[in-house]
Amino acid sequence: MAISVSPVETADVGLNRDLFLRSLLRELAGTLESVVGLEDASGYISVVGGAIGNQINQAYKKEIAVQKLSREEIGQVLVDLKRRIEGDFYIIEADETKIVLGNKACPFGKFVEGRPSLCMMTSNVFGTITADNLGYANVVIEEAIARGDKGCRVVVNLVQPDEAPEGREYFGG
């Protein structure tokens, strides 16, 4: 008896787990932005980003066997974690006061376009990791693919400013 394959099973619908999850996140962010507004949607996504940032931070510290990441290691971790999820982040400059990162490819791909609240994932993951290890971070997303820029430019300030900061502040232990 020959096994027949249904046309449904061979249909090229462009669906897999990765695309489904990115679509899900895009629609969730869009729904939040339209229902509660961009600022509140960003706040909800920030909570999730903070939790994920804590998980990633603990995993790197465990794997490289340190209690605290150094400034240099933080820069390496921020680039590496984005590489692992198919982002294309790189360090533009780094010194004792800041780490400036660029990015040519968002891990969310085209699904991030028009969903700037999803940038809070980057802000909170970067801010959580940095603040936990150095005590403070202020993350400014100067350019974002989600906002229509060709790439991203993210500044992670390591020193608390004297005046009100421009970005989002994170405090750690």
pLDDT, tens digit (0-9, with 9 covering 90-100), for 32-76? 999 999 999 999 999 999 999 999 999 999 999 999 999 999 999
Indicate the range of 23-27, 92-96, 160-164 predicted with least confidence: 160-164
pTM of the model: 0.91
Q: Residue 29, Cβ neighbours under 10 Å: how many?
A: 27
Domain spans in the chain, listed from the N-terminal domain onward: 16-171
**Structural domain 16-171, CATH architecture:** 2-Layer Sandwich (3.30)
Mind listing the pLDDT tens digit for each residue in 130-152? 999 999 999 999 999 999 999 99
CA pair distance 69, 59, nearest whole angstrom: 12
User: For residue 65, with 0-12 CB atoms within 10 Å meaning exposed, 13-18 middle and 19 or more buried, which class applies?
Assistant: exposed
Cβ-based neighbour number of residue 171 at 10 Å:
11
